[in-house]
Amino acid sequence: MSDGLKRHRIDGPGKIHLARFDAATRPFSVGDKPADKRRVAELATELATVQDRFYALRQHKLLLVLQGMDTSGKDGVIRAVFQAIDPLGVRVVSYRAPTEPEKDRDFLWRHHRDVPGRGEIVIFNRSHYEAVLIEYVHGWIDAAERRRRLAHIVEFERLLAETGTTIVKCFLHISKDEQRKRLQERIDDPDKHWKFNPQDLEERKLWQKYQDAYEELLGRTGTAHAPWYVVPSDSKTQRNLMISEILLATLSELAPSYPPPQPKLSGLQVV
């Protein structure tokens, strides 16, 4: 793994200060914006090849967790990073407020249903971490319950890791000013009105509480078996570039080659 990735990786307990991570930095830039976009497209093609091997081998499972403030670009990551990949073997799960049957069970129940099978990549667009973010920030759970849930999440992810799932968690780190710009764009452009939710403005008022909550969860749930990457996301292109690099490095290690050839097929003729 490159030094650039290591500087943004959290894989052990400790106090996290998001202020030390510059949301506007461009650690993986290869030139200007057009050059960086071309590099994202190149990486997407490379990812498609490696993902094909990953699916063919059916030995490992990959869970990609995307978390971030409103407008941080979770949907944009999926469109850009996976632009060249065959949908076969890749599944996106987008979580909304829990239903009544889901509320009747433990908070991880609905997430466990959606974890990947062998050879599959699953993307959590928002995730089990909502239960220690929005629910805590709004006062629906107290600090003691949040600590319990964070501990449960660590063990849930340990269970997945020990049963063959590689977990990559990306916190899409944007600045408050960048969020303001993106929300304003959605208001000013009629074609983007469908993206705008007035509730986003109410959530924005709780910005610092969310930052504090993220610092807590990053410090408690970044582990060797399920590391976090703090991804600078003020630049959409850089965000996509960094996550592409992370996934390519991860998948290349898990699927270095196709399955071995089958000797019984040697010389077989189709008539």
CATH number of the domain at 162, please.
3.40.50.300
Q: Which amino acid is at 125?
A: N
Residue at 270 is within a domain: no
Average pLDDT, the chain: 95
pLDDT for position 64: 98
Residue 121: its H or E element: strand 121-125
Half-sphere exposure of 57 (CA within 13 A, CB side): 19
- Going by the DSSP 8-state scheme, the letter that residue 267 receives in this structure is T
pLDDT, tens only, 76-108? 999 999 999 988 899 999 998 899 999 999 999
Q: Are strands 228-232 and 9-10 parallel, antiparallel or unpaired?
A: antiparallel
| pLDDT tens digits, one per residue of 14-65 | 999 999 999 999 989 988 999 999 999 999 999 999 999 999 999 999 999 9
What is the rounded CA–CA span in Å between residue 265 and residue 131? 51
Number of domains the chain is built from: 1
Residue 92 covered by a domain:
yes
The answer, yes or no, to whether residue 1 has pLDDT greater than 70, is no
> Model confidence over 247-267: pLDDT tens digits?
999 999 999 999 999 999 998
In a domain, 69, yes or no: yes
Amino acid at 68: G
Range of the domain at 242: 3-257
For the entire predicted model, the pTM comes to 0.95
Report if residue 230 sits inside a domain: yes
d(CA 111, CA 182): 29
> In three state form, how does the secondary structure of 186-210 look?
HHHCHHHHHHCCCHHHHHHCCHHHH
